Amino acid sequence: MKINFRFFTAVLLLIGLWCVSPIAFCNGKVGGAVKTSRTSGFSSVALYGTVTGTVEAATARYRKGVVVYLKGVPEKVVPLAATIDQKNLAFIPHVVAVSVGSTVSFVNSDKVNHDIFSANPCKKFDIDDFHPGAIKTLTFDKPCEVNLLCDLHPEMSGFIIVIDSNHFAVTDADGKFTIGSVPSGTYEVAVWSEKLKLQKKAAVAVNSGQTSTIDITLVR
């Protein structure tokens, strides 16, 4: 087979030109650097802080069951799910705090019937003939202080505090509380108590990755 020598020479010349071109078509390496901006993507710095504190009251038993919450946090309120049991003729827990839109399931663990109701204008309801083992779930769609009572057992009382915030806590027997995952900022501290009220207005500054501590005093 005859080969056109001029054609073959031209092909070799073209291949040589490709190999010395700024863009490598032959064996070789492409070098360079990729620049990234610190303002893009997610920051590794914590964006949230924690608020802890203690509620003080002249009467020790009033330190428990106090709802402490933060007002003015710029975010969408997320509904929760909570449960209140009826056991030994008592609402357990005595105080429950939930965000607006949350559901609360009532459970009758007693061996007797109950008739749970609320007369509060913001959330009126009546769970009639609530027999042992029954479960009833209600939605609480607006800020409200709901006083729970039982028609059949007048000694029973409890509270559901519905809050327009994601950041709240109920104090323990020592009056202590912790509110986590709070966005950085300065917020008003609000309090609900069955018997007492806040002595004076309070605010707390929350810093990223840090814990802020505040002491709260309640008076009659």
> Considering only the top CATH level, what class is 78-164?
mainly beta
Residues of the chain with CATH 2.60.40.1120: 44-75+167-220
Rounded to two decimals, the pTM is: 0.79
Residues of the chain with CATH 2.60.40.420: 78-164
Contact 182, 66 (CB under 8 A): no
pLDDT score for 119 = 96
Superfamily of domain 44-75+167-220: Carboxypeptidase-like, regulatory domain (2.60.40.1120)
Query: Could you read off the pLDDT tens digit of each residue along the chain, which spans 220 residues?
Result: 444 445 444 444 444 443 444 333 333 332 222 222 333 333 445 599 999 999 999 999 999 999 999 999 999 999 999 999 999 999 999 999 999 999 999 999 999 999 999 999 999 999 999 999 999 999 999 999 999 999 999 999 999 999 999 999 999 999 999 999 999 999 999 999 999 999 999 999 999 999 999 999 999 9
Taking the C-alpha atoms of residue 207 and residue 150, their distance in angstroms, rounded to an integer, is 44
